[in-house]
């Protein structure tokens, strides 16, 4: 029997209407995602007879249905961890894989609802996608876990029938405990953030201070010594493929070593731990973007040279670029200077890799995408996160203006506190008061610089807010988006498509 016909018949009998794109045959069992009102289930159907052995890996409610005189059995299970693990086991394309140095885009999903929209935006672009992506900091603020991030990506990929493969990025990891939690959840990409160990003062320290700091570096933990490191780089020229020659005079050498020496030690520790405890291939990224000062070409050479010497294998690196990469808004800075320095970073990646240059806080940086795509070619990873949350709020503005007004008011109240851990410059006096806006104007405020940043960085407070012992906003937010699922998907898809199209490899 035609699987679509069977799924439709099962849907009429069980009231779980199938998502057509999810219909998948496997070993005599029909898998599909079904929906009844706002309730989604993973459904497995087979003709009457001995139950398939794979059912032992799933849990759910059994049904009997008759389709054209053929008796079938159906198991409809919740979208829980057990069923996600079962899907990944029997339909491997619903689980993550390594991406390597293929051009890619990371798509964070703070609410756990956006993967279908992300799939629709990326499908057909030729880009590899990372659908499970969240930092430990964001998980804490959203009340999520590594398993939850992984599972919602799995179900979203299955719902859309996306069998092209995807990655799972444990983002901005700072501790061994963070590594262990995300290894256990099955992540395949690990972004280590040693930014807390970067010495930003090295940018302006005088030479005697730099000499003193250099002598104090515990370089034995970097598997070297002050004498050996000096012999390797001091007064040496490093030619790059674009014709640039980096020369390490005394000052350049000391600033690079002092600024990034302890950060490299921490990154090496994390890599060694990961290599020891992760028994499958993985992608590794080093991120120094959340620091106070830009990464110079010489500093990038220093970092790459030492990573390579110590045997670290990495697929991408995120420098701190010139200009400002504030959250959820376009690039702030001199585009000509960005082009010049970005070309140098690409040259370093070609010389010491090849590996990808990773654009962190990459959401909505529309003015630099053509530059990055042109200069990096395929050696690029674009990382986005909060922009999908903001576009979910845009959908809310369209379908529930009253809720959006509440969210905007709450965000304005909590912005002074929440902005502390983010690089933003929005000013509350520039945000239009909700009561001054007509319903059809609400969505447009998310195009305003200040409003966009205010609502971006307050997501954690919104999702954790309590009232009378219950979530103040989260349940209403999730229910409204579920009730208007296609509006939500289309709003996010259209926005993410603007991000990926400049990098498309059709």
Q: Can you give the pLDDT of all 506 residues of the chain as single tens digits?
A: 577 777 888 888 888 999 999 999 999 999 999 999 999 999 999 987 778 999 999 999 998 888 778 888 999 999 999 999 999 999 999 999 999 999 999 999 999 999 999 999 999 999 999 999 999 999 999 999 999 999 999 999 999 999 999 999 999 999 999 999 999 999 999 999 999 999 999 999 999 999 999 999 999 999 999 999 999 999 999 999 999 999 999 999 999 999 999 999 999 999 999 999 999 999 999 999 988 999 999 999 999 999 999 999 999 999 999 999 999 999 999 999 999 999 999 999 999 999 999 999 999 999 999 999 999 999 999 999 999 999 999 999 999 999 999 999 999 999 999 999 899 999 999 999 999 999 999 999 999 999 999 999 999 999 999 999 999 999 999 999 999 999 999 999 999 999 999 999 98
* C-alpha to C-alpha distance for 33 and 209, rounded to whole angstroms: 62
Are 73 and 126 in the same domain? no
CB neighbourhood size of 406 (10 A): 17
Are 38 and 96 in the same domain? no
CA neighbours within 13 Å on the CB side: how many for 415?
23
Q: Say how many domains are in the chain.
A: 3
Are 22 and 109 in the same domain? no
Are 84 and 117 in the same domain? no
Here the tokens at position 365 are 């940086």
71 domain-assigned: yes
496 domain-assigned: no
10 domain-assigned: yes
Q: Domain boundary at 34, 63, 88, which?
A: 88
Closest CA to 45 of 11, 20, 88, 68: 11
Are 42 and 132 in the same domain? no
232 domain-assigned: no
Are 135 and 84 in the same domain? no
Domain of 458? 396-481
Are 34 and 59 in the same domain? yes
Are 180 and 96 in the same domain? yes
383 domain-assigned: no
Catalytic (active-site) positions: 171, 285
Are 82 and 158 in the same domain? no
367 domain-assigned: no
320 domain-assigned: no
Are 107 and 182 in the same domain? yes
- Sign of the alpha-carbon dihedral angle for 411, 413, 418, 420: positive
Q: Domain boundary at 132, 157, 192, which?
A: 192
* DSSP letter assigned to residue 44: E
Q: Where on the phi/psi map is residue 325: left (φ > 0), alpha (ψ -120 to 50), or beta?
A: beta
Q: Domain boundary at 29, 61, 88, which?
A: 88
35 domain-assigned: yes
Are 148 and 69 in the same domain? no
Q: What DSSP element (H or E) covers 469?
A: none
Give the 3-state secondary structure of residue 482.
helix
Are 156 and 174 in the same domain? yes
Closest CA to 104 of 505, 435, 506: 505
Q: Where are the alpha helices (DSSP H) in 287-334?
A: 297-309
Here the tokens at position 136 are 């430990």
Output the CA angle 332-335-337, nearest 5 degrees: 110
User: Are the CB atoms for 226 and 317 separated by under 8 Å?
Assistant: no
Q: Match 């003193």 to its residue by tokens.
A: 212
């Amino acid at each position: 029997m035609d699987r679509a016909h069977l799924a439709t018949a099962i849907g009429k009998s069980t009231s779980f209407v199938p998502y057509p794109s999810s219909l998948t045959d496997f070993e005599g069992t029909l898998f599909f995602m079904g929906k009844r009102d706002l309730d989604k289930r993973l459904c497995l159907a087979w003709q009457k007879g001995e139950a398939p052995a794979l059912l032992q890996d799933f849990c759910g409610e059994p049904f009997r249905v008759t389709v054209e005189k053929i008796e079938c059995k159906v198991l409809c299970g919740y979208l829980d961890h057990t069923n996600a693990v079962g899907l990944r086991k029997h339909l491997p394309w619903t689980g993550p894989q390594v991406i390597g140095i293929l051009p890619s885009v990371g798509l964070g999903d703070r609410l756990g609802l956006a993967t279908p929209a992300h799939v629709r935006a990326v499908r057909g672009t030729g880009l590899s996608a990372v659908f499970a992506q969240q930092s430990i900091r964001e998980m804490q603020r959203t009340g999520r876990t590594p398993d939850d991030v992984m599972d919602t990506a799995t179900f979203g990929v299955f719902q859309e029938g996306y069998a092209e493969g995807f990655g799972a990025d444990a983002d901005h990891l700072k501790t061994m405990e963070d590594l262990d939690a995300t290894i256990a959840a099955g992540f395949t990409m690990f972004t280590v953030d040693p930014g807390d160990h970067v010495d930003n003062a090295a940018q302006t320290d005088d030479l005697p201070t730099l000499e003193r700091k250099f002598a104090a570096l515990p370089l034995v933990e970097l598997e070297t010594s002050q004498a050996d490191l000096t012999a390797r780089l001091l007064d040496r020229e490093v030619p790059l493929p674009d014709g640039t020659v980096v020369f390490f005079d005394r000052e350049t050498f000391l600033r690079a070593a002092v600024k990034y020496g302890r950060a490299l030690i921490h990154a090496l520790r994390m890599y060694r731990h990961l290599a020891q405890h992760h028994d499958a291939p993985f992608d590794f990224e080093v991120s120094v973007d959340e620091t106070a000062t830009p990464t110079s070409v010489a500093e990038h050479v220093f970092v790459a040279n030492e990573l390579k010497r110590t045997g670290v294998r990495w697929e991408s690196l995120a420098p701190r670029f010139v200009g400002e990469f504030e959250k959820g808004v376009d690039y702030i800075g001199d585009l000509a200077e960005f082009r010049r320095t970005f070309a140098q970073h690409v040259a370093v990646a070609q010389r010491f890799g090849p590996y990808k240059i990773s654009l962190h806080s990459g959401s909505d940086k529309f003015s630099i995408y053509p530059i990055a795509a042109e200069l990096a070619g395929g050696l690029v990873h674009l990382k986005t996160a909060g922009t999908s949350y903001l576009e979910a709020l845009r959908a809310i503005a369209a379908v529930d203006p009253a809720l959006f007004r509440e969210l905007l008011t709450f965000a304005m109240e909590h912005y002074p506190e929440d902005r502390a851990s983010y690089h933003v410059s929005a000013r509350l006096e520039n945000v239009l008061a909700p009561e001054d806006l007509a319903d059809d104007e609400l969505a447009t405020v998310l195009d305003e610089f200040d409003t966009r940043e205010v609502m971006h960085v307050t997501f954690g407070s919104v999702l954790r807010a309590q009232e009378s012992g219950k979530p103040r906003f989260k349940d209403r937010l999730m229910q409204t988006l579920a009730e208007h699922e296609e509006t939500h998907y289309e709003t996010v898809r259209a926005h993410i498509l603007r991000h990926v199209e400049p990098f498309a490899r059709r």
